[in-house]
Structure 1
């Protein structure tokens, strides 16, 4: 049977072979210190060599010529402009007096698109830009820019495009619009609209070309469509100007006065030029009082 031998301090720590005194503390300290010093020196040398190689690599890296950098930056700028036009913002100009006094001829406006993403659509009171539904614009207004440079710029949103109209949304699907109450106000679902953005001095807020005393009423706005009017009611080729009045034209067809909401490009939110016309456009509060269609 083996006997247990007690472990002494000499058994736990052996003296360093080169230490004549046999002091384990002295051996451990001098050995560790020497090894640590050697390791530090080696790391510093390695770091220096690595830094030197990195500097030499940077010196060897060839810089692009100025003309290549210019082309690259231009391509990136054009790509960003195209993305912005397609998904976020687009510039247009006002070609006629149909939105006076709020929007003057040749005003530059900005249209934003995210508000109508997904299931969101135009709201009553919004000023919107939409594509010509067909026959609303004359040949000249529908053509757009003819200058080649302007055509390219219009593709990326840096120049206004043709073939579009700007109007105010008065009614949406299910709404019935009529003209006018005793104060000459347009009614939507029986609710009169107070429209301070119209020109002063009007006898009524309906299209004066049809006579302020003449009464008219639309059928319910079909699904996915809207009824739009210009703020200059007397000089606007809009929905009210296309209402079918059998008493005047027995051959007219109901429905041509409405605009498909899929044709909407976006909502006008700012006038950016000229500087004297700078302004933000907001939805008038009067439309908040319009009841839902029956």
Structure 2
């Protein structure tokens, strides 16, 4: 209906509705209209989320942290069979090297695990172990405590105490009933000088640990190359009732321990680990689930592990 001036009534449209009616009609259709963004189906997004999760898991395992299981008694009572420990793999990328007193995971340096059976995984197990979602049957890693670093003199006489650079260690972490040194003719009595780029390692269960003492006939004379260290075990993550950190014992901070460190003990030098990969750092903040599935650390060998 036109007004006196011939203009249309502003309250009505040609279809007889109001402007508000038109807005309502435009947004009420079931079909795809211009400018309408339908949310993507959950089932279409799921494969993308799975791929992202797997990539992040692989990055975390490779560069940041990895969980390992403890299948032997060689580190009792610090670590028990069935414990899961988280290993820091990031700091070595910045040039950090193991220190005395740290508990470290390292690759078998010279067939310390000889004679141990290694099961053959199937194709699916190989894929899952590669991305860190299940234990690897092929990796042969061990876990011990660092006693001496490059330049140190480490010595055991009688039942102990264990001496580093002439200083006696107070070792409350040694398994109850064990002596710091073992009185046997297989390697329990020794005096060694650690070359630069190497470590002397021992288990906390001194009378049940196949460690540096009992591998002195290998090509490294029982030493562990720093380049073979996977990382430092920093947390007992599982089971929950055994959760706790793995700090360096106070005895390794005693005054004078570095005073007698020999600069002449240098034979093999380990190359730098390389530059840090800064791109993976945000993953630490993003990742909400802290526990990584465990991988094997150590297998018992000939009564010692």
> Equivalents in 2 of 1:237, 1:211: separation in Å?
11
Looking at secondary structure, tell me which structure has more helix per residue.
1
Q: How does 1:21-40 map to 2 (within 5 A)?
A: none
Is 1:242 paired with 2:215?
yes
TM-score by length of 2: 0.67
Say if 2:181 and 2:189, in contact at 8 Å, map to a contact too: no
> Equivalents in 1 of 2:33, 2:238: separation in Å?
53
Q: How does 1:205-284 map to 2 (within 5 A)?
A: 205-210=180-185, 215-218=189-192, 220-243=193-216, 252=217, 255-284=220-249
Structure 1 runs not aligned, ≥5 long: 1-48, 244-251
Is 1:83 paired with 2:59?
yes
2:94 alignment partner, one of 118, 122, 146: 118
Say if 1:208 and 1:233, in contact at 8 Å, map to a contact too: no
**Pairwise CA distance, 1:63:** 4.1
Say if 2:235 and 2:243, in contact at 8 Å, map to a contact too: yes
Say if 1:191 and 1:291, in contact at 8 Å, map to a contact too: no
Say if 1:225 and 1:260, in contact at 8 Å, map to a contact too: yes
Structure 1 151/106 Cα, relative in aligned 2: closer, same or farther at 3 Å? Answer: farther
Structure 1 103/118 Cα, relative in aligned 2: closer, same or farther at 3 Å? Answer: same
Say if 1:171 and 1:226, in contact at 8 Å, map to a contact too: yes
> Equivalents in 2 of 1:101, 1:266: separation in Å?
21
1:189 alignment partner, one of 165, 171, 179: 165
Say if 1:129 and 1:268, in contact at 8 Å, map to a contact too: yes
CA deviation digits over 1:86-118, x for unaligned, max 9?
111101101211111111112111101223232
Is 1:98 paired with 2:71?
no
1:180 alignment partner, one of 135, 153, 157: 157
CA deviation digits over 1:144-183, x for unaligned, max 9?
77355443332222334331000000001111100137x7
Say if 2:110 and 2:220, in contact at 8 Å, map to a contact too: no
> Equivalents in 2 of 1:76, 1:255: separation in Å?
42
Is 1:167 paired with 2:132?
no
Larger Rg: 1
Say if 1:207 and 1:240, in contact at 8 Å, map to a contact too: no
Q: Alpha carbon RMSD of aligned pairs, Å?
A: 2.9
> Equivalents in 2 of 1:253, 1:86: separation in Å?
29
The number of residues matched between the two structures is 231
> Equivalents in 2 of 1:139, 1:224: separation in Å?
28
| Larger relative contact order (Cα-Cα within 8 Å, sequence gap ≥ 6) | 2
Say if 1:171 and 1:221, in contact at 8 Å, map to a contact too: yes
> Equivalents in 2 of 1:70, 1:85: separation in Å?
22
Question: SS in structure 1 opposite 2:207?
Answer: helix
Question: SS in structure 1 opposite 2:79?
Answer: coil
Say if 1:207 and 1:241, in contact at 8 Å, map to a contact too: no
Say if 1:91 and 1:158, in contact at 8 Å, map to a contact too: no
Say if 2:105 and 2:233, in contact at 8 Å, map to a contact too: yes
Is 1:146 paired with 2:121?
yes
> Equivalents in 2 of 1:122, 1:178: separation in Å?
20
TM-score by length of 1: 0.70
**Pairwise CA distance, 1:135:** 1.0
Question: SS in structure 1 opposite 2:94?
Answer: coil
**Pairwise CA distance, 1:120:** 1.3
